[in-house]
Homo-oligomer: A and B are copies of this chain.
Amino acid sequence: MPRTIRIAAAQMGPVNPSEERSVTIGRIMKLLSEAADIGCDLAVFPELALSTFFPREYHVDLREADIFYEKTMPAQDLQPLFALARERRIGFSLGYAELVEDDVIGRRYNSQVLVDKQGTVISKYRKIHLPGHADNRENDPFQNLEKYYFEVGDLGFPVVNAFDGRVGMCICNDRRWPETYRVMGLKGVELIVLGYTTPLQNPRADQSAELRQFHNHLCMQAGAYQNSTFVVGVAKAGIEGGVELMGGSCIVHPDGRIIAQATSLSDELVVADCDLDDCLNGKAEEFNFERNRRPSLYEGLLTPHGETA
């Protein structure tokens, strides 16, 4: 009996700085409701879905950006979203900024939750591969201050039993790192859901928009194939705060092929029926880790770098 689940990559168009939070939540609820209408089991939303990508703007005191963080999940004004999931029997995954107030300054993470069809948070991930910089670079065409606003995630890469399979999460720049997929692959992951907010230009490299979209898909496709897992990548797309963000939200099969892809830079559901049993052959044969990996010969993979910010 196949383990088929219907998944929606719920791409979002830009959330501009002037947009009211209630409007953004309304957009998310509309996408979730539409996904439920067409029988989806799971809808995946982008990174930092509840606000504009605020790490573009520098504040001398980082606490000035605390309005963008959630202190609880669900926050009070997200209760209707969780209720909708419960009523319509659809799970979702959502990226957001998380503030843990356990001391005067608090700890800040770029986080993502997985919510089941009962509207219950069943897994949380905190972004590990933070891109960008911690210093103010106001002469750059635009900034990515993630290393200023967030700490490195401290939860590893959790993989949980959910939606009839093994489900893990990562966020944006994590998808470029093969370690991300492999750590979860070793835990038997069958579905990785991730959101991203990726500019079409890179201020630090001469890369065309086309090349950057190619990199986006290349990493997810290789990660899927090399770990025999579905990968669902979901963009915040379009021009947000003056910066062009790539779209290209997609669902990648364990054989590495893209089986569904966004056609717009706006709010859009990208849907595919995913039989998690399609992960089994790769795990048993080509990527049978027990039989074919050689950890004793992988020198240096875990040697500390100093891990500077």
Contact = CB atoms under 8 A, between A and B. Distances in A.
Interface stretch (A10-18, A94-102, A297-305): A297-305
Given A211-B255, A308-B290, A204 B285 contact: yes
Contacts of A205: 281-282, 285-286
Interface stretch (A23-31, A69-77, A106-114, A218-226): A218-226
A298 B257 contact: no
A196 to B, nearest CB: 14
Interface string A255-280: 11100000000000000000000000
A156 B299 CA distance: 8
Contact of A298 (B152, B153, B179, B308): B179
Given A300-B186, A300-B187, A293 B281 contact: no
Interface of A: 128-131, 152-153, 156-157, 173, 176-179, 181-183, 186-187, 202, 204-207, 211, 214-215, 218-219, 221-222, 225-226, 255-257, 281-282, 285-287, 289-309
Closest 3 CB pairs of A and B: A222-B222, A178-B178, A186-B300
